[in-house]
């Protein structure tokens, strides 16, 4: 067994404290990865607070990991000891179902869906293993099968690579799904970890005009520095009205319940809004007339596939895109969580787990 030091919340706690546990050594095509950096995600708050009712305790968060392969199972073929790699939101899936076969492991239709990196089931489909609780990357190491590990390009700083595993991939996929962005006007709702990536992707993908819509007027300067063409304060009724029917596509990164109809008004006829990461109801009931009358499309999105994760790393390297990160020490995780609760981060906390 591999004794591992991490940080966990126990049931009823919203903070983490040091926690030591054992991991099974890598077998088959699994690898042991020493975690060097790991991001802090808004979903970590949701899970620590059990807001989705699915949290398993003890809960060791962390699904935006960058690290180094330190040992490999006998069947590993794509990686070697010493490789610098990333691990995102999943560490396994059934790899047998139609979704997995088509490269959508994040939509795995096996009995337990994909195995989430933390607070997840082990071995999809294995009934006994459904009781299992996976422990994430706010810890010294991870054990992951190679299909769910990606190589980090050389020269990419690891503290910047880590957030590409989640907010990078999560926003890249929906932006790609919008299709060719050249000549298109795009709005991004929210300017946090995912929003600031989505903004950079939209510009690099050739969008003609990209606006950030936020409740936080203080984020205006940052939005323009990151390449935005406009900044709209969502609580400013006049400004919202002046941008009515302006955008071909909207990507929402708002992680908490919000009023969807308020933003549909910004879409042009036959426009598309993708709501990423909101895993719960909207603030008010959506009247379908708001979609139907103007032929609007509403899509949802949650995490990304392994292929998308690889693609986002290459795309970021090619276009010199990187997340803006605030690297913190392990002892300051709880302080960072407090700041994240009030959206006080520019734009991603990344924990330095090891040198
Ligand atoms: Zn995340
Ligand atoms: Zn599957």
Measured in Å, residue 149 CA sits from the centre of ligand 2 at 17
How far away, in angstroms, is 193 Cα from ligand 1 center? 9
- Mean pLDDT for 290-303 is 96
Q: Would the CATH topology of 2-163+324-352 be identical to that of 168-301?
A: no
Starting from the CA of residue 97, give the closest ligand.
2
Q: Looking at the CA of 90, which ligand is closest?
A: 1
Which numbered ligand comes closest to the C-alpha of 44? 1
Query: Where is average pLDDT lowest: 11-15, 63-67, 136-140?
Result: 11-15
**Nearest bound ligand to CA 45?**
1
**What whole-number distance in Å separates Cα of residue 355 and Cα of residue 350?**
13
Query: Which residues have a beta carbon within 5 Å of ligand 1, which is an ion?
Result: 41, 166
Query: Quick one: average pLDDT of 10-17?
Result: 93
Instruction: Give 272-281 pLDDT, tens digit per residue.
Output: 999 999 988 9
Domain boundaries, the chain: 2-163+324-352, 168-301
| Domain boundaries 168-301, CATH class | alpha beta
Tell me the average pLDDT across 228-239.
98
CATH 3.60.20.10 fits 2-163+324-352, yes or no: no
Q: Answer yes or no: is pLDDT of 123 > 60.
A: no
Q: What is the mean pLDDT of residues 260-277?
A: 97
- For 45, other C-beta atoms within 10 Å of its C-beta total 18
Is the CB of residue 83 less than 8 Å from the CB of residue 68?
Answer: yes
């Amino acid at each position: 067994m591999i004794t591992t030091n991490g940080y966990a919340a126990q049931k009823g706690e919203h903070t983490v404290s040091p926690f030591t546990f054992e991991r099974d050594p890598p077998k088959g095509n699994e690898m042991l990865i020493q975690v060097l950096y790991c991001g802090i995600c808004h979903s970590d708050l949701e899970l620590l607070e059990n807001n989705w009712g699915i949290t398993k305790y003890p809960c060791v968060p962390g699904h935006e990991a960058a690290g180094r392969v330190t040992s490999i199972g006998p069947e590993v073929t794509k990686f070697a000891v010493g490789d610098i790699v990333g691990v995102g939101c999943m560490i396994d899936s059934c790899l047998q179902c139609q979704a997995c076969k088509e490269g959508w492991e994040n939509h795995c239709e096996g009995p337990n869906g994909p195995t989430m990196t933390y607070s997840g089931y082990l071995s999809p489909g294995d009934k006994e293993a459904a009781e299992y609780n996976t422990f994430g990357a706010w810890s010294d190491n991870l054990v992951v099968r190679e299909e769910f590990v990606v190589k980090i390009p050389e020269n990419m700083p690891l503290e910047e690579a880590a957030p590409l595993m989640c907010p990078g991939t999560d926003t890249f996929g929906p932006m790609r799904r919008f299709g060719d962005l050249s000549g298109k006007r795009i709005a991004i709702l929210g300017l946090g970890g995912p929003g600031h990536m989505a903004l950079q992707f939209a510009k690099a993908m050739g969008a003609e005009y990209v606006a950030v819509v936020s409740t936080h007027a203080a984020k205006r300067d940052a939005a323009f520095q990151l390449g935005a063409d406009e900044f709209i304060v969502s609580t400013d009724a006049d400004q919202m009205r002046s941008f009515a029917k302006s955008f071909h596509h909207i990507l929402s990164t708002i992680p908490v319940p919000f009023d969807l109809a308020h933003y549909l008004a910004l879409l042009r006829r036959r426009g598309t809004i993708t709501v990423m990461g909101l895993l719960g109801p909207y603030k008010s009931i959506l009247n379908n007339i708001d979609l139907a009358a103007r032929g609007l499309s509403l899509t949802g999105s949650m995490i990304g596939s392994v292929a998308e994760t690889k693609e986002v790393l290459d795309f970021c390297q090619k276009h010199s895109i990187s997340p803006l990160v605030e690297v913190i020490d392990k002892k300051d995780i709880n302080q960072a969580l407090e700041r994240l609760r009030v959206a006080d981060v520019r734009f991603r906390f990344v924990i330095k787990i090891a040198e």
